[in-house]
Amino acid sequence: MNIDLALIDMDGTVYSGDKPIDGVNSALDFLRENNVETFFLTNYACRKRRNYSEKLEKMGLEISESEIVTSGWLTAKYLTQEFPDSEVFVLGEDGLRRELIDAGVNLVEKCESPDVVVVSNKHDLDYGDLREMLQGVDKNTEILGTNPDETIPGDDGEIPGAGTIISAVESMTEKTAEIVGKPSKNAVKTVTEMKNVDPEDCVMIGDRLNTDILMAEENNMKSVLVLSGVSGEDTVENSDISPDHVLDSIAEIEKVL
């Protein structure tokens, strides 16, 4: 497999919780030794790239901030390019707001006919938040979703993710949100243009069929599903989404590249 750029999911692929996946450092060394550039993608929008690089460093993983792509960072980039000077309301966490503010996005405190609404994870979501969305979004408001993940890992099991909240907003407003993170074409376009490579020369390595592998499938990228995270062998057998390769973990990446 001739590859110029590897797009690598993080949680469930590079690490699990606060522990690196066994053999991940050797796998990354193999990619670097073979001149394969890397981006590390996460759909979680509530932390900045710097926070992830610091977390990875504590695990003994040498991954720079410039190699990390979060759905929050993608959203900030998309807003500054496609909606400059627009009024933007965020239904999400403070970390996402800080990401957008740092990028120069014009945030508003109340959802009163904004140009754009960004919907993401919000751990303290309540009835008032949904009511504000229902009453504040008008026919001209664009809705962006940071990512479609319906669940995310929690300390005591899976918890509701951004996709669940986006579905509620879409149902209430009768609008369809545009997804900015994985598996969107926007995510692929952004990272491949940054490295000036074609999607056909990229591989997506991840643990979720419906985001990581779907994104690869829809954008003519090679795909490697690892079984160290969300999707298991039974999921693959019962899915219409087909990875090119299935490995126990990223530690085995040398088998297919």
Amino acid code (one letter) for 178: E
Residue that the structure tokens 């403070």 belong to: 94
At 21 the three-state DSSP class reads coil
Lay out the sheet containing 106-107: strands in order across: 106-107, 87-91, 116-119, 142-145, 178-179
**Tens-place pLDDT, residues 8-45:** 999 999 998 889 999 999 999 999 999 999 999 999 99
> Cβ atoms within 10 A of the Cβ of 255, count?
10
Helices 71-82 and 94-102 pack at an angle, to 10 degrees, of 40
Radius of gyration of the chain (CA): 18
CA angle 77, 51, 94 (to 5 degrees): 65
Least confident of 60-64, 114-118, 228-232, 237-241: 228-232
CA 54 → CA 7, 59, 65, 104, 243, distances in Å? 20, 9, 9, 24, 31
Average of per-residue pLDDT across 194-213: 95
**Tens-place pLDDT, residues 46-93:** 889 999 999 999 999 989 999 999 999 999 999 999 999 999 999 999
Average of per-residue pLDDT across 212-230: 94
Write down all domains in the chain, each with its CATH number in brackets.
5-43+182-255 (3.40.50.1000), 72-179 (3.40.50.1000)
C-beta separation of 9 from 51 below 8 A: no
At 55 the three-state DSSP class reads helix
- Whether residue 155 has pLDDT greater than 70: no
CA 7 → CA 170, 206, 225, 235, distances in Å? 29, 8, 12, 22
In the chain, how many H helices and how many E strands? 9, 15
Q: Enter the tokens of residue 243.
A: 């990875």
Q: Enter the tokens of residue 110.
A: 């109340």
Residue that the structure tokens 């997506």 belong to: 204
Cα dihedral 46/49/51/54 (nearest 10)? 150
Buried b (16+ CB within 10 A) or exposed e, 32-45: eeeebbbbbbbbbb
- The pTM (predicted TM-score) of the whole model is 0.92
